[in-house]
Structure 1
Amino acid sequence: MSSNALYTDLSGYYDLMCADIDYQSQSNFVRRIHQIFGNQGRDYLDLACGTGPHVHHFINYGYQASGLDINQPMLDIAKQRNPDANFILHDMSNFKVEESLDLITCFLYSIHYNANIEKLSECIASAHAALKPEGVLCFNSVAKNKIDNRSFVKHAAEHEGSQFSFQSGWNYCGEGEQQHLLLKIEKTTDGVTEIWDDKHPMVAVDFNQLTALLEPYFDVHMFEHDYEKITPLEASSGNAIVVCVKK
C-alpha cells in the first residue's frame, strides 16, 4: 500500500495516531514566540494542518485562522471541527494566499513532507511571499545527521471496539536528500489483527543546510525542541523548533 493510500484510508484514525501529542502546549509555545518575534497581527495559516487541532487553538487565541493540506478527508474533518476557519486543498511547496499573513506554522515535522530540496526551497519561498513584513514562519525539524534509525515511539489506543498500536520512527540511510518516516499500525478486532507497514518519503537536511535555505528570506532563530520553555539550540541536538522572521 502506498503512503498516500495509507494516509487517505486511515484519515479517520489520524487523531488516534496523534493521541499522545499535546497540541495545546505546542500552540501555546508558538503563540508566545509570535508575541516575541512577530508583528502582532492575527492572520494565521497552518501548513499540513491535518484534522485542524492547531487551527482550533489559534481560533481560541483570537486569530483569523486557516489551514492547508493535500488530503481532502483530513480537511473535511478539520472543517467540521472548525467551521469558521478557511481550509485549502493544496501542496505546501507552491502555495499562494489571497491576503497576506502574520503567522505560518508547520507542526509535527511536516515541513519534511516536501519531496526534495528543490520543493523545500519552493515552500520556503512561498511562505516568505505569503507573509506580511516581520511575519513569522515557525516549524519543527529533524537533522538528518542526528537520526538514530533504532529509535521509535509507540503508543496504544482503543476506538469503536478495536485496539490499535501505533509505532513510528525516522530512518536515514546516511547519504542523499531523502529520509523516511517508518509507520506501523496494528488493529485488533475480536482477536483478529491487521497490520499496516508504511514508509513515507521525506526530505532530509541538516541544520546548516536548512539555515542556508532560509537565510535569504528570513532572520533565523533555532530553539531546543521543548514546548515548555524557550531555549537556544545546542550543537548536539537533532530536533529543533525553527523560528523565521521575514526580512
Structure 2
Amino acid sequence: MSTNALYNDLSGYYDLMCADIDYPAQSDGVRRLHQLFGRGGRNHLDLACGTGAHVRHFIDHGYNSQGLDINQPMLDVASQRCPEAQFTCQDMCDFRFDQPFDLITCFLYSIHYSDGIEKLRSCIQSVHEALASNGVFCFNAVDKNKIDNSRFVGHTADFNGSSFVFRSGWHYPGQGEKQALKLSIQKTTDGVTQAWHDEHPMVALGFEEMASLLQPYFEVHIFEHDYERIEPWDRHAGNALFVCVKG
C-alpha cells in the first residue's frame, strides 16, 4: 500500500491515530517562541497541517491561520474543523503564496516528509520566500544518528464500535539520507481484525546538517523538545525544536 493510499483510506481516523498528542501544549509553546523571536504579526501558515488541529488552536488565539497539505481528504476534515481558515493542497517542498507570513510552522516531525536533502533544501527555500522580514519558521526534527530502530510508541482507541491499535517508530539503516517512519494500524470490529502496515520514506540528517542547510537563510536556534519550557538543546537528545528567524 502506498503512503498516500494509507492516509486516504484512514483520513477519517487520523485524529484517533494522533489522540495522544497534546495539540494545545504544542501550539502554546510555539506561540511563546514566536513572541520571543518574531516581529509580532499574526499571519500564520501550518505546513503538513493534516486535519487542522494545530490551526484550530492558533485561530482561537487570534492568528490569521492557513494550512497546507498534500492530502486532500485531510484538508476536507480540516476545513470542517476550521471553516474560517483557508486550506491549500500543495507540496510543502515547492509552494507559493501571494502574501507574506509572520509565522510558518511544521509540527509532528513532518519536515522529514521532504524525501531527500534536495527536497528539504527546496522546502527551506520556499519557507524563506513565504516569510516576511523577521518572520519565524518553527518545526521539530529527529537526529538520524540518535534513532533507536527497536523503539516504537503506540496507543489504543475506540470509535464507532471498533477498537484501534496504533504503533509507529523511526528506522534508519545507518547510512545515507533516507529514513523511514514505520506505521502499523489494527482495527477490530465484531471480532474481525484488519491490519495496515506502511513505511513512509523520509529525509534523514543530523542536527548539524540541518543547521547548515538553514543558516544561509535564517538565524537558527535549537531548543530542547519540550513545548512547556524554553531550554537550549543539550546536544545529546535525539529530538529538538528548531526556531529559524528570517533576517
Q: Output the CA distance in 2 between the equivalents of 1:132 and 1:3.
A: 33
What CA RMSD, in Å, does the superposition of the two structures yield over aligned residues? 0.5
- SS of equivalent residue, structure 1 residue 92: coil
Q: Output the CA distance in 1 between the equivalents of 2:164 and 2:100.
A: 41
Q: Output the CA distance in 1 between the equivalents of 2:236 and 2:189.
A: 43
2:7 matched residue in structure 1: 7
- SS of equivalent residue, structure 1 residue 151: coil
Q: What's the CA shift for 1:81?
A: 1.0
- SS of equivalent residue, structure 1 residue 10: helix
- SS of equivalent residue, structure 1 residue 39: coil
Q: Output the CA distance in 2 between the equivalents of 1:15 and 1:169.
A: 18
2:51 matched residue in structure 1: 51
Give TM-score scaled by structure 2 length. 0.99
Counterpart residue type for residue 238 of structure 1: G
Q: Output the CA distance in 2 between the equivalents of 1:170 and 1:234.
A: 21
- SS of equivalent residue, structure 2 residue 93: helix
Aligned pairs, number: 247
Q: Output the CA distance in 1 between the equivalents of 2:62 and 2:37.
A: 18
1:153 matched residue in structure 2: 153
2:61 matched residue in structure 1: 61
Q: What's the CA shift for 1:227?
A: 1.0
Q: Output the CA distance in 2 between the equivalents of 1:119 and 1:36.
A: 29
Matched, 1:211 2:240: no
Runs of 4+ in 1 over 3 A off after TM superposition: none
Point out where structure 2 has 5 or more consecutive residues left out of the alignment. none
1:182 matched residue in structure 2: 182
What are the residue-to-residue correspondences of 1:16-31 with 2, within 5 Å?
16-31=16-31
Q: Deviations over 1:58-87 (max 9, x none)?
A: 101111100000000000010111111010
2:126 matched residue in structure 1: 126
What are the residue-to-residue correspondences of 1:67-216 with 2, within 5 Å?
67-216=67-216
Q: Output the CA distance in 2 between the equivalents of 1:162 and 1:180.
A: 28
Q: What's the CA shift for 1:3?
A: 1.3
Point out where structure 1 has 5 or more consecutive residues left out of the alignment. none
Q: What's the CA shift for 1:193?
A: 0.6
- SS of equivalent residue, structure 1 residue 93: coil
Q: Output the CA distance in 2 between the equivalents of 1:11 and 1:59.
A: 22
Q: Output the CA distance in 1 between the equivalents of 2:83 and 2:186.
A: 32
Give TM-score scaled by structure 1 length. 0.99
Q: What's the CA shift for 1:115?
A: 1.1
Q: Output the CA distance in 2 between the equivalents of 1:194 and 1:179.
A: 26
Q: What's the CA shift for 1:136?
A: 0.1
Counterpart residue type for residue 121 of structure 1: R
Q: What's the CA shift for 1:113?
A: 0.3
Q: Output the CA distance in 1 between the equivalents of 2:24 and 2:137.
A: 19
